Structure 1
Amino acid sequence: MEQPNSEYINQLSGDNEKFKARIIGILKRELPEEVEVYHQHIKTENYKLAAESVHKLKHKVSILGLEKSYYIAEEYEDNLKENSTCLQSDFEDILERMQDFVDKL
């Protein structure tokens, strides 16, 4: 199973440690908030808003180097737009791995 990594963050920041720390800080702050909003929309079965949350989260999926997971997120977003939760458990596994990784940064 694909694991999050900081390769893209390292490429983006180069040797600028302040910029790298800023990106990591944004991830640490925004990821839990966005995941919580996503879960609220799923709980209330508001799949349109859940799809919007997934759309936002896809950017963080790519920042954390999860190329294959990005495509799962993209397909899940489309499913939610059709009121289908197919791929929900796969997407939520991705979120869990992302949160565990970001917590350790």
Structure 2
Amino acid sequence: MEQPNLSYVESMSGGDKAFEQKLIDIIKKEFPEEKQVYFDNIAAENFKEAAENVHKLKHKISILGLIKSYDVAVSYEHNLIDKSSIGKEDFESILQNMTDFLETI
């Protein structure tokens, strides 16, 4: 599985460490909340809302440099729109990978 990284954040910042930290802080605050809403919607079988949650989470996936994982999320989002949970395990593995990474930075 690919590993999250800060390459994209660093490329956006132009070396501005304060900007990088601000962006990281925002992600660390929003990600757990967005992830929990996703899990709540999945548990309630609210597929449309879960697809919207995945859509929001895709942006954080790309910001953390997870190119292949982004594609997995796109596919899973489309499946949820079709009321299918195909791709759920892979997507949730990505969320765990991101959680582990964010706890270390």
Q: Tell me the TM-score normalized by structure 2.
A: 0.98
- Two-structure CA RMSD over aligned residues (Å): 0.6
Looking at structure 2, the residues matched to 11 and 103 of structure 1 have their Cα atoms a distance apart, in angstroms, of: 22
Q: Which runs of 5+ in 2 are unaligned?
A: none
The 3-state SS of whatever aligns with 1:5 is coil
> What residue in structure 1 maps to residue 3 of structure 2?
3
Runs of 4+ in 1 over 4 A off after TM superposition: none
Unaligned 5+ segments in structure 1 are: none
Give the equivalent residue in structure 2 for 1:60.
60
- Identity score, percent: 51
Q: Paired residue for 2:26?
A: 26
Q: Number of residue pairs matched? A: 105
Q: Which residue of 1 aligns with 2:44?
A: 44
> What's the CA shift for 1:104?
1.0
Counterpart in 1 of 2:74? 74
- Name 1:104's counterpart in structure 2: 104
Amino acid at match of 1:32: P
Q: Per-residue CA shift, 1:19-59, capped at 9, x if unaligned?
A: 01100000100000000000000000000000000000000
SS at 1:19 equivalent: helix
TM-score, structure 1 as length reference: 0.98
SS in 1 for 2:37: helix
Aligned-pair CA distance for 1:71: 0.5
Amino acid at match of 1:68: K
- In the alignment, the residues of structure 1 paired with residue 63 and residue 37 of structure 2 have an alpha-carbon distance, to the nearest angstrom, of 20
